[in-house]
């Protein structure tokens, strides 16, 4: 995306990237931390279907061009992001961590792992 982003969108992206990285490092070692960087995000402007205002959608892809994460900044200022980890939980062997997720609005950001039971 070539155009300059609004400051609030820039700040939201930075918060989401930092939060996802902080959540991921709880479950993987630093040398295995996925490429959760702003520079790796492919960002595009989208139209919010509810109110017709602009929002932003971003995608992270791996070397095989597979989607491994996404980010949404809604026109109302709320946001959501997720990034795939696909690792065993380090302290709960019966669980698998599919992804880390982050969401919020403004300065308030929450994060958690998305768990699946091992089969």
Q: What is the mean pLDDT of the chain?
A: 92
**Alpha carbons within 13 A on the beta-carbon side of 44:** 6
**Alpha carbons within 13 A on the beta-carbon side of 5:** 19
Those residues whose C-beta lies under 8 Å from the C-beta of residue 62, and which sit 6 or more positions away, are 35, 68
Q: What is the pLDDT of residues 76-115, one digit of tens each?
A: 999 999 999 999 998 898 999 999 999 999 889 999 999 9
Does 68 score more than 60 pLDDT?
yes
Q: Which residue has the tokens 């990285």?
A: 21
Look at residue 48 in the predicted model and tell me its pLDDT: 86
Does 3 score more than 80 pLDDT?
no
Q: Would you list the domain boundaries of the chain? A: 7-117
Give the span between the Cα atoms of 104 and 80, in whole angstroms.
7
Q: What is the pLDDT confidence band of residue 62, given thresholds at 50, 70 and 90?
A: very high
């Amino acid at each position: 995306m070539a155009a300059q982003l609004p400051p609030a969108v820039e700040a939201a992206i930075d918060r989401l990237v930092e939060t996802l990285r902080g959540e991921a490092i709880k479950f993987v070692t630093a040398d295995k931390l996925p490429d959760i960087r702003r520079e790796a995000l492919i960002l595009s402007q989208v139209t919010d279907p509810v109110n017709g205002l602009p929002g932003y959608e971003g995608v992270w892809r791996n070397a095989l061009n597979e989607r491994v994460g996404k980010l949404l900044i809604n026109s109302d200022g709320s946001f959501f992001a997720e990034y795939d980890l696909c690792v065993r939980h380090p302290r709960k062997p019966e669980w698998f961590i599919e992804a880390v997720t982050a969401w919020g609005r403004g300065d308030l950001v929450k994060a958690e792992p998305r768990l699946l039971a091992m089969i």
